[in-house]
A and B are shown apart, each in its own frame.
Chain A
Amino acid sequence: MSDVLLAPCGEGALRVTAVHADPEQRWRCVHHIADWLNAHQIPGVYGSLPTYDSLLIEFDPVLVTAASLGPVIDAASAADARPARRPRRFVLPMVYGGSHGPDLEFVADFLGLTQAEVVDLHSGADSTVRCLGGPIASCMLDGPAFSRPIPRLADPRLEVPENAISVAGEQGVVGPVRAPSGWRLIGLTPVKIMDVEADELIPYLPGDRIRFRPIDSSAWSDYEGVRLHELAEAC
């Protein structure tokens, strides 16, 4: 196989990296393999985690080896792409800057823009959900159309609140839980992203779209108690 590289990660995991020239195609490739594996439930394969250009497959080393997965990945790559479900879209109200987004000022200064211009870029277009990431079920997005990558904090914060919206590099993220973070925090949403009572902890999947909508901090309480699960709309 020429368009992916396989690298074992210990005896119980395998990293598959797509090597197409086009990033969009790399992303499609690894998510397609992950969808196929998920649909086919290979005995001994616990699951797979696709991100931007790679996929981590975790398995029981008693039943499966990295070598035995080679033909499986070939079969998955050759199969027709059929998305698990139609993409959905979420319009997410958020409060930018100030105590809600203490790094908005840094991002504006770094880009030579006003804070309002950063907000316009961040909220001006839909972003694609690329994958679900750490620390738990974070919504990893394409970053806004900034002129250059945003450096991470040299000294990560020990804790950012739940439902935090941040940027770093050329990526964006919505973090459902309170956690340490080295990303630049530009705002918070009053909407509850994670619902432990729901069948799915979080409602978004890779391929869905998020649109941020600026709201005034005085409107915060209007959205308290709203769950992101309720905001899903068809694309």
Chain B
Amino acid sequence: MLITSPGHTWVTDLGRLSGARSGVPANGAMDHFSARTANILVGNDEAAPLLETLAVAVEFLAQCDLLLAVTGAECELRIDGALAPLWAPVSARAGQAVSVGPARKGLRSYVAVRGSLDVPYLLGSCAPDTMVGFGTRLRAGDVLSGARPTAPLAHPVFRMPVMRLPVEPPALDDEPVIPVTDGPDHAEFGATASLLYRGSFAVSDRSNHVGLRLSGELPTRLATGEVLSRGVPIGAIEVPSSEGLLVLHRGRGVTAGYPVLAVLTSVGLDQIAQVRPGSQVRFRRVSITEARDAVLAQHHVLSRLRRAVRTVLAAHGASLEPIATSTERELSAV
């Protein structure tokens, strides 16, 4: 892939999930469901490296026949100018220009190509870490290698509704309602905790992969006293000052000294990753059981999709040999 217009794009994956013990934030794709789906649609391991692009368009030239999938924000995917579907495997011939975006609704698009992307790894992940200064950000003229050449899937089945792959893009609402569970320090806010579920909150433009700042009518901590630094979950909602709520996302520092009012569910984290600064959100209280049921439902959707993609790829004679990630290749080289 030759990058012709980089937009605001990084190579990422599902992050350093086991890094917390060494004080290292998870980072990685902010909308996990979209990122996992994109990789599954092209037959990759769901944790394979892929592109995460923010709001503006990214364009590249296919240097070999590619199988790719674009998920996440609502945008236009064009192959040599022709519109192609999102949330589906799409072929680009060698020499064709691929353009993704800009986002019309939502904020982050994910672009997976069948195969891998050869990029540096840190502690088992290629996800950028802005604190360490690690990661691969696309620049015009970059060549990304690692994609597995895949002959065009021109077979008519891809256009037949019966064979449509079983994936339903999540809704991108103008004022999304984000599911959260009560946090471990919920009681410290007394009756004011319910304010979280009453009004709507505006997302500040001082929001990023570390956290989102939201303003609105705020719950207040009634307890006083210093909190010793402790591990803070991804998705934690804190009220650090009278200026607003802080929703910690996947780039969050692993410890903090503020009480945790509520925690976004996995589905909620994906949803808020697509919210643009300036938008309004609301929060909806769910139980841990409901939150886990939603994760299990997603898990089944993705398992079904994985099987369906394998069937389709096999029908096209695409090799189903597992695709090694670049860390695995490094290890086998040793």
Cβ–Cβ contact A133 & B21, under 8 A? no
Cβ–Cβ contact A133 & B23, under 8 A? yes
Chain A residues contacting B123 (CB-CB under 8 Å) are 201
Among A42-50, A73-81, A116-124, the one that faces the other chain is: A42-50
Which residues of B254-296 are within 8 A (CB) of A?
A: 254-256, 260, 263-266, 288, 291-292, 295-296
Q: How many residue pairs bridge A and B at CB < 8 Å? A: 151
Cβ–Cβ contact A196 & B132, under 8 A? yes
Interchain nearest-CB distance for B242 vs A (Å): 12
Which residues of B287-322 are within 8 A (CB) of A?
A: 288, 291-292, 295-296, 299
Q: How large is the interface on A (under 10, 10 to 19, 20 to 34, 35 or more residues)?
A: 35 or more
Q: Which single residue of chain B is at the shortest CB-CB distance from A139?
A: B23
Give the CA-CA distance A11 to B232 in the complex, in Å: 14
Q: Which single residue of chain B is at the shortest CB-CB distance from A7?
A: B184
Cβ–Cβ contact A149 & B226, under 8 A? yes
Q: Is B36 at the interface (CB under 8 A from chain A)?
A: no
Q: Is A9 at the interface (CB under 8 A from chain B)?
A: yes
Tell me which of A12, A58, A138 contacts B20 (CB under 8 A): A58
Q: Is B332 at the interface (CB under 8 A from chain A)?
A: no
Cβ–Cβ contact B266 & A11, under 8 A? yes
Cβ–Cβ contact A11 & B288, under 8 A? yes
Among A60-68, A107-115, A216-224, the one that faces the other chain is: A60-68
Q: How large is the interface on B (under 10, 10 to 19, 20 to 34, 35 or more residues)?
A: 35 or more
Give the CA-CA distance A140 to B228 in the complex, in Å: 11
* Among B132, B184, B256, residue most surrounded by chain A Cβ atoms (within 10 Å): B184
Cβ–Cβ contact B21 & A47, under 8 A? yes
Cβ–Cβ contact B20 & A136, under 8 A? no
Given contacts A169-B226, A177-B132, contact A9 B17 (CB under 8 A): no
Given contacts A54-B230, A58-B233, contact A11 B17 (CB under 8 A): no
Chain B residues contacting A7 (CB-CB under 8 Å) are 184
Cβ–Cβ contact A13 & B229, under 8 A? no
Pairs A–B under 8 Å by Cβ, sample size 16: A9-B183, A9-B263, A10-B263, A12-B233, A13-B234, A13-B263, A15-B230, A46-B17, A46-B18, A49-B255, A54-B231, A136-B25, A140-B229, A179-B131, A194-B132, A196-B133
